[in-house]
């Protein structure tokens, strides 16, 4: 079922609402991405070439097509912990300045080619220190790569802006250092902070010092929560740590009861936490394909994003790891079109949700919405 008719704010009328998503529309529509991992989006050919240059010998195959298929298959284990093991190969080749610049530049180019106009891309600087780069040098290299990629995309007729999220690993002890990097580079394109990694056994409250520091410095942060672990993870991220957004947050559905799960008109009851998340308009960085791979959802058709969008949660649509999920933001839109009947207007709705929820300053968010996103969808919806 399309979510657009329930919104009551179509803006462009029934003609646009009725436009079914096609691959061409999904790719052409201006899109916003808030949850994309740099080390989860490398081109398979780049992984092989960087492995050759660095002497990394751990790849399961040296054929680009086979390697891409291997990443997708290995990530589809039904376990977040197993899913995360695939990153050993991508992180393994991201250990020099040259590699980091190239990977970041290609990320910006690839997203722009998919019609993404703004993206917040995250990575963990502490994972690229094996060849004597410092944390600062890692951040500088990635920022240089993003600026290069933005320029190359513009030269090709595509405009994109990249905001960086610096991630700390939740099983490690460098979150305060990474948080300080966020503040140090916040005028140079770093827009926020994140923690990632296995949730079970590593609650976000282990990093309270970092979160309290960021709040004192008026900095933004999101937290991976409610993916592999349930409601306590979400509750801690919000009520103890003060997260601005929830990375995934898919398990918030555990606090929602539908009297008839097979009907769109079934009675819905929200628990206290789910009601709080909706009332406060806390953004959910939802990643359907990734969630199916890790077992957080049984299938795209059964993914909670359909219900959460219908209930008007602040849903955003994301890729998580484009290499591991063999996906793009256009593909994720098409999957929801097939599963829930999402239309072009639903794509517009979820895109504006994401832009509203970004960590850019308010006036810059508004400019992208009014000058890029809304005109882009108006052009696609015109008779």
Catalytic residue among 227, 236, 332, 345: 227
The answer to whether the beta carbons of residues 239 and 202 sit under 8 Å apart is no
177 flagged as catalytic: no
The answer to whether the beta carbons of residues 333 and 319 sit under 8 Å apart is no
Angle between helices 64-75 and 44-54 (to 10 degrees): 110
- Rounded to whole angstroms, the maximal C-alpha distance in the chain is 59
In terms of Cα–Cα distance, which of 36, 105, 119, 45 is closest to 325? 36
Which residue in this structure is represented by tokens 């290299």?
A: 141
- Dig out the tokens for 202 from the structure: 């590593």
**Of how many residues is the chain composed?**
383
The b/e string for 107-136 (b: 16+ C-beta within 10 A; e otherwise) is: bbbbbbebbbbbbbbbbbbbbbeeeebebe
The b/e string for 334-358 (b: 16+ C-beta within 10 A; e otherwise) is: bbbbebbebbbbbbbbbbbbbbbbb
CA distance 79 to 298: 12
The answer to whether the beta carbons of residues 121 and 112 sit under 8 Å apart is no
Q: What is each CA distance from 30 to 26, 108, 118, 267, in whole angstroms?
A: 9, 15, 9, 35
- Active site amino acids: 227
């Amino acid at each position: 079922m399309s979510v657009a008719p329930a919104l009551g704010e179509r803006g462009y009328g029934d003609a646009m609402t009725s436009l079914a998503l096609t691959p061409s529309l999904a790719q052409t529509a201006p899109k916003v991405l808030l949850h994309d991992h740099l080390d989860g989006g490398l081109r398979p050919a780049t992984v092989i070439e960087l492995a050759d240059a660095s002497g990394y010998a751990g790849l399961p195959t040296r054929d680009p097509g086979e390697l891409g298929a291997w990443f997708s298959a290995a990530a589809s284990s039904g376990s977040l912990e197993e899913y995360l093991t695939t990153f050993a190969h991508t992180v393994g080749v991201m250990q020099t300045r040259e590699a980091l610049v190239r990977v970041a530049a290609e990320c910006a180019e690839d997203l722009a080619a998919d019609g993404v106009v703004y993206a917040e891309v995250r990575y963990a600087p502490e994972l690229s220190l094996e060849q004597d780069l410092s944390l600062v040098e890692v951040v500088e290299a990635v920022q240089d790569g993003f600026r290069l990629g933005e320029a190359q995309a513009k030269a090709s007729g595509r405009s994109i802006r990249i905001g960086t999220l610096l991630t700390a690993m939740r099983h490690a002890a460098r979150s305060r250092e990474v948080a300080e990097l966020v503040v140090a580079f916040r005028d140079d394109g770093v827009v926020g902070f994140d923690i990632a990694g296995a949730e079970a056994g590593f609650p976000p409250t282990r990093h309270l010092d970092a979160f309290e520091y960021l709040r004192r410095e008026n900095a933004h942060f999101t937290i991976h929560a409610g993916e592999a672990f349930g409601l306590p993870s979400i509750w801690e991220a919000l009520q103890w740590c003060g997260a601005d957004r929830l990375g995934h947050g898919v398990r918030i559905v555990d606090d929602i009861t539908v009297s008839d799960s097979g009907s769109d008109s079934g009675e819905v009851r929200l628990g206290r936490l789910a009601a709080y998340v909706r009332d406060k308009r806390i953004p959910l960085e939802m990643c359907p394909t990734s969630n199916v791979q890790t077992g957080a959802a049984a299938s795209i058709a059964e993914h909670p994003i359909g219900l959460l969008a219908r209930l008007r949660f602040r849903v955003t649509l994301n890729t998580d790891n484009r290499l591991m999920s063999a996906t793009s933001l256009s593909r994720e839109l098409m999957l929801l079109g097939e599963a829930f009947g999402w239309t072009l207007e639903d794509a517009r709705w979820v895109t504006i949700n994401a832009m509203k929820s970004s960590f850019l300053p308010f006036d810059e968010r508004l400019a992208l919405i009014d000058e890029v996103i809304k005109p882009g969808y108006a052009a696609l919806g015109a008779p």
